[in-house]
Amino acid sequence: MSLLPICIYPDPVLRQKAERVKNIDNGIQRLIDDMVETMHNAPGIGLAANQVGRPLSVLVIDIQRDESESGLIVLINPEMVSARGETTFEEGCLSVPEYFASVVRHEEVVVRGLDRRGEKIEIAAEGLLAIALQHEMDHLEGKLFIDRISPIARDIFKRRWKKKSKEEREETLLCLD
């Protein structure tokens, strides 16, 4: 296993719609293992293949807080079966570091896909797991959580992000002198 670089906004791969996985071969198994290691190292609770530069319909989630247990979920070609209710949750993203915002999502979801062995799996989720599933599935559609915030909040985010990026570039130039 190895750590993969996480793509950072505004990397174009984050806006690509993921391709369905047709064959769960050794390459996909290696990608899953690398994604799990990358997610845990980040640390994060979810990661979609787009975030590591591979626009394939693969996501991993692990919301367990206790290191002695694993709540690892691997979903290939996930699709939403049903959703109900509404909840607001403060979200962040490994691809949009150091930014958090309140996002409205479904309170409960049922998601269907394949596990890493190619077996059909259906997950009924609520709470943090439901939020994480929706967040990662958005990535597979080329959407980021910042697309789900109000236009005013998104405009503020973009201005702050541009300013931060400009400051980081200036710091890099100063270091090179």
* 162: Cα within 13 Å, side-chain hemisphere: 5
Q: Report how far residue 38's alpha carbon sits from residue 60's, in angstroms, rounded to the nearest whole number.
A: 10
Active site includes 136?
A: yes
Catalytic annotation, pick one of 69, 136, 141, 171 = 136
How do beta strands 108-114 and 96-105 pair?
unpaired
Strand order in the sheet with 58-61: 46-48, 58-61, 73-84, 108-114, 120-126
- Number of residues written out for the chain: 177
Q: Please report which helix (H) or strand (E) contains residue 114, including its range.
A: strand 108-114
Residues taking part in catalysis: 136
